[in-house]
């Protein structure tokens, strides 16, 4: 697997570890509320849902980390699968929640996926 693809996969994984942290452990904090555009009341009422969403982001990160450290013959398929999952989630979130998700989450995943397809 091409080094650029693995670096991009690692970046997307780190991004999703950060999302996990924000959604599972810092959801009600002022900086997190500002980043997600939520109120204190909404954050408190939705922290269980946010934690569940954070867990899913952790699974995406785990899959991408697996791809980075997997045997070479598995890497391309793993990167394509997990980067595609992230990209689909970003497209859905961008159209249903906030357009910036397309850039923040979708662009790195798209670059990773394109790299895997081009250099695989």
Supply the range of the domain harboring residue 12.
3-119
10, 68 in Cβ contact below 8 A? yes
pLDDT of residue 1: 83
The structure tokens 């991009």 sit at: 8
Band (90; pLDDT cuts 50, 70, 90): very high
Alpha helix positions (H), the chain: 3-25, 30-36, 40-45, 47-69, 72-96, 100-101, 107-119
In tens, the pLDDT along 45-85 reads 999 999 999 999 999 999 999 999 999 999 999 999 999 99
Mean pLDDT across the chain: 97
79, 116 in Cβ contact below 8 A? yes
Task: Domain count for the chain, please give it.
Answer: 1
pTM (2 d.p.): 0.94
d(CA 71, CA 1) in angstroms, rounded, equals: 10
């Amino acid at each position: 697997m091409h080094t650029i693809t693995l670096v991009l996969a690692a970046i997307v994984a780190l991004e999703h570890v950060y999302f996990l942290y924000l959604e599972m452990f810092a959801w009600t904090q002022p900086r997190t509320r500002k980043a997600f555009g939520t109120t204190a009341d909404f954050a408190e009422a939705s922290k269980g849902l946010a934690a569940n969403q954070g867990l899913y982001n952790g699974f995406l990160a785990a899959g991408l980390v697996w791809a980075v450290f997997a045997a070479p013959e598995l890497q391309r398929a793993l990167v394509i699968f997990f980067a595609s999952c992230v990209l689909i989630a970003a497209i859905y979130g961008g159209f249903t929640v906030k357009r910036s998700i397309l850039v923040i989450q979708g662009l790195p995943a798209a670059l990773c996926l394109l790299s895997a397809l081009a250099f695989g």
